[in-house]
Amino acid sequence: MKKYESIVLKIGLFILPMVIVMLFIPFGRTFDQQAKPVVRLSALKSEHDMEIVVENVTDLYAASVDLFYDTEKIVVEKLETGDLFVNCEKPWMEVVNSIDADQGIANFAVSLLGEVDAIKGTGVLVKVYYRILDDEMPRVKFLDYIMEGFSYDQEFGIRPKLVNDEIEYIPYRSKVQINN
Amino acid sequence: MKKISVLLLLFMLTTVLFSDPAAAEEGSINLIPSTDTVKKNMIFEVDIQADNMDNLYGLQLHLNFDSSQLEIIDFRPDFFGWERGTQYYEFHRWDNDRGTFDMVFTCCGSDVYFSGSGKLGTIEFRVIGTDTQLKIIENQRDKSDRACLGVDNQSQPSKYKVYQATIHNDNSPPDINNIEVIDNSTIRIEFNEPLENASALDVNNYIIEPDLGIRSIQLDESQRIVTLVTDPQVGNRLYELNVLNIQDLMGNRPFDVLRKYFRGSMRLWLEAVDPIYKRNTGTVKLKAGPVEEMTQLIFYIKYDGNYLTYTGVRCDNENFSPQVTVYPEASYMYFLCRLDPGPPVSRYDDWVVCEFDFMPQNVGSTKLEFMTGSKSPEAYGKVNGISERIVVETSDAIMDILQSYTLTGYVKLVVQKNFSNVSAYRDGDESKEIDVDTKGKLQLENLIPGIYTIRLFNPGYLPMDYYIDVQCDTEVELHMIPGDLNDDWLIDICDIAKICKKFSTKKGSDGWESVMDYNCDEWIDVVDISIVARNYGRRSNIEE
């Protein structure tokens, strides 16, 4: 009887809390991660083209991408709206599309127009056409969308912002995928 | 021949002595001392001068002096520079016991006589007493009215007036009559008699304690007033002046050090805090030098009401309670300031007593000055528990009032309408709101040269600080940046999304937001979106 009580006590005091910690916390993180859309940078098609892909978005009304790059290593030549908006079958507008080759800043913004349903799904937000000035691929880094101010010291910094139907920022996870 | 001459002389004398002499109207005998002042044991001379003589042929002169004070050492006959024995005969004698001097002379021959003025001779005296006044006079005591008798070439006798010699016999050392503090660095010492120059001007002969340096010494024309220029004094401090080795003109020296006390003068001055600009409060500091145990300060300040308006007084010292009363006069203004510190004030450096604020009314130079006469500054201080007045030295201030300037700003929106919601603040301070009129104009007046910050707010626009350098009357356009629709002081995709959401909304319809209608065409359309888009990425320059 005493041996049985001892086992129960051990289970109650040590094993159960550990099981709870091990099971629920990782699961929670996974759920949270799964709930956020993913912004992925891919350079799949060409060495000199880059796509910024938004995955699993549920409520996208507008989006912007700010690029900060080292002008001695990269030349951004063109920004082009991707199929996420082009094929959304809703009224939309490319509002900002500018490249400042001197400063190494490129801005892109696109938005739906009027009271329409937001965009759901996955697609390319913007295509970035660029040239590398030396042989080395620059280091790419996603910048926090909440982070204020520009950052000029990046070799290639990308700051996407997603805005939902309520005109609020959409949190997301970012991923860089380089596939040569 | 000699006997004949002596007989002739005696005859002449007899004639003179026993004849009835008529008083000569103009002629006189003057006894002229070689010095006004003598001292014991000093030898001096007295010239016997015959003035305004008319055909003088012979003369007898009897003098007397106080034999306890003077003695005759010698007599040197002169008799107009004539040659003795050829042109004249003379006889003289003196008696130092009786204090008498007798002299007689006569010309030789019938064609020698004297007219005009000339010296008969010089008596050499020695001072043997210490009476302060020594006199040499005609001897009326023994000779009555025949003490000075002359005779002309016609044997007519004449009585001459004798002008006595009076000499001051100075055997007393100099002393200080009075000491007067003139100002913070000047002391005047009045001596009872003239001083010998070198000793009076010797800086080593004056010592002031507690240590107060002497920078220079002046002796006035009378040689009785010595002015000492000292280092700055400590107001109300009791100083001891020691004078030593000083001597008068006769070389008399004090037996001991001359000692006097005086209280240091306090220095007060006005100092304008530059620069001062029209219609901007200007400050004038009342400063004071070191002072000990000051108990009260009262003064009047005079100023030109056309230039200045008194606005107030400030005092850092909690124990001071300045009471200021302003009075108008026909051509100027003045105020009375009275300070009654609780405990007596002691300061050992220059210090600010209080600060007066004025509002300058006009450009130009104007003077603030301490009033004088019955309104001269009065300071009192305690010494050994007794309150006494302190001598105050003052200096006035000149205020140079400079021009101030006007800054006029014109707020620029996308369309020059609807300025009613524009808020403007000076220096980013929300308590300093600036009026913006219906045309977007704002104005700051009476500014001193410098850089000014105007902060503008308007719904739908970025809040911004505008920095304007004002060195003259200045007009500027203040262009506001449209696009911040969510008031996060940043124009980004949120603002774009917000206006895109209202795309193609007309005034009066559901969801209309006038703030987004930047061009005021009553549509929220691509023009408004482009206005926001153009400013994408811009942010407020206001530092939080």
Residue B17 has a pLDDT of 44
d(CA B539, CA B463): 9
* Class (C level, CATH) for A38-177: mainly beta
Question: From B485, which residue of chain A is nearest by alpha-carbon distance?
Answer: A167
For A67-100, the pLDDT digits (tens) are 999 998 889 999 999 999 999 999 999 999 999 9
The complex scores an ipTM of 0.76
- What amino acid is encoded at B85 in this protein? G
The total domain count for chain B is: 5
Q: Are residues B449 and B508 in the same domain?
A: no
Residue A180 has a pLDDT of 45
Q: Are residues B70 and B131 in the same domain?
A: yes
Q: What number of other Cβ atoms are within 10 A of residue B14's Cβ?
A: 10
d(CA B338, CA B353): 11
Which residues of A are less than 8 Å from B511 in CB distance? Answer: 115
Q: What number of other Cβ atoms are within 10 A of residue B198's Cβ?
A: 10
Residue B363 belongs to some domain of the structure: yes
Hey, of A67, A85, A111, A146, which one would you mutate to test binding to chain B, going by the most B CBs within 10 A of its CB?
Answer: A111
For chain B, the straight-line distance linking the first and the last C-alpha, in angstroms and rounded, comes to: 134
- Residue whose structure tokens are 């350098």: B469
Residue B539 belongs to some domain of the structure: no
Q: Are residues B284 and B396 in the same domain?
A: yes
Domain limit, last residue, from B442, B460, B480: B480
- Which helix or strand (DSSP H or E) is residue B182 part of? strand B176-183
Give residue A142's pLDDT band: very low, low, confident or very high (50, 70, 90). confident
- Average pLDDT of chain B is 91
Query: At residue B5, does pLDDT exceed 90?
Result: no
**What is the nearest CA distance from B428 to chain A, expressed in angstroms?**
22
- The dihedral through the CA atoms of B368, B283, B381, B192 has a sign that is negative
Q: Are residues B158 and B10 in the same domain?
A: yes
Query: At residue A111, does pLDDT exceed 80?
Result: yes
Q: Is B500 on the interface with A (CB under 8 A)?
A: yes
Is A107's CB within 8 Å of B537's CB? yes
Which residues of B are less than 8 Å from A148 in CB distance? Answer: 490, 539
Q: Are residues B258 and B149 in the same domain?
A: no
- Which string of b and e fits B432-469 if b means at least 16 CB within 10 Å? eebebeeebebebeebbeeebebbbbbebbbbbebebe
Residue A30 has a pLDDT of 47
Q: From the list A61, A66, A115, which residue is nearest B497 (CB)?
A: A61
Q: What is the mean pLDDT of residues B137-159?
A: 90
Which residues of B are less than 8 Å from A151 in CB distance? Answer: none
Hey, of A162, A163, A165, which one would you mutate to test binding to chain B, going by the most B CBs within 10 A of its CB?
Answer: A163
Q: Are residues B16 and B156 in the same domain?
A: yes
Nearest to B133 by CA among B70, B64, B176, B63: B70
Domain limit, last residue, from B263, B289, B315: B263
Q: What is the mean pLDDT of residues A33-50?
A: 73
- Please state the pTM of the whole predicted model: 0.65
Return the structure tokens found at A125: 């937000």
Residue A50 has a pLDDT of 87
Domain limit, last residue, from B263, B293, B313: B263
Residue B288 has a pLDDT of 95
Is A114's CB within 8 Å of B536's CB? no
Query: At residue A144, does pLDDT exceed 80?
Result: no
Task: Map residue B276 onto helix, strand or coil.
Answer: strand
CATH number for the domain harbouring residue B521:
1.10.1330.10
Q: Is A67 on the interface with B (CB under 8 A)?
A: no
Q: Are residues B515 and B456 in the same domain?
A: no
**What is the nearest CA distance from A32 to chain B, expressed in angstroms?**
24
Q: Counting one residue from A and one from B, how many pairs have CB atoms under 8 Å apart?
A: 67
Q: What is the mean pLDDT of residues B386-412?
A: 94
More confidently predicted of B103 and A14 = B103
Hey, of A57, A95, A108, which one would you mutate to test binding to chain B, going by the most B CBs within 10 A of its CB?
Answer: A95
Domain with B157 in it: 2-169
Q: Are residues B468 and B508 in the same domain?
A: no
**What is the nearest CA distance from A82 to chain B, expressed in angstroms?**
17
Q: Are residues B330 and B428 in the same domain?
A: no
Residue A31 has a pLDDT of 46
For residue A136, the number of C-alpha atoms closer than 13 Å in the C-beta half-sphere is 8
Q: Is B492 on the interface with A (CB under 8 A)?
A: yes
**Spatial contact of B72 and B123, defined as CB atoms under 8 Å apart:** yes
DSSP collapsed to 3 states, chain A? CHHHHHHHHHHHHHHHHHHHHHHHHHHHHHHHHHHCCEEEEECCCCCCEEEEEEEEEEEECEEEEEEEECCCCEEEEEEEECHHHHCCCCCEEEEEEEEECCCCEEEEEEEECCCCCCEEEEEEEEEEEEEECCCCCCCEEECCCCCCCCCCCCCEEEEEEEECCCCCECCCEEEEECCC
Residue B40 belongs to some domain of the structure: yes
Residue B543 belongs to some domain of the structure: no
Residue ranges per domain, chain A? 1-35, 38-177
Share of chain B above pLDDT 70, in %: 95
Residue B16 has a pLDDT of 46
CATH number for the domain harbouring residue B183:
2.60.40.1220
Which residues of B are less than 8 Å from A95 in CB distance? Answer: 496, 500, 529-530, 532-533, 536
**What is the nearest CA distance from B500 to chain A, expressed in angstroms?**
5
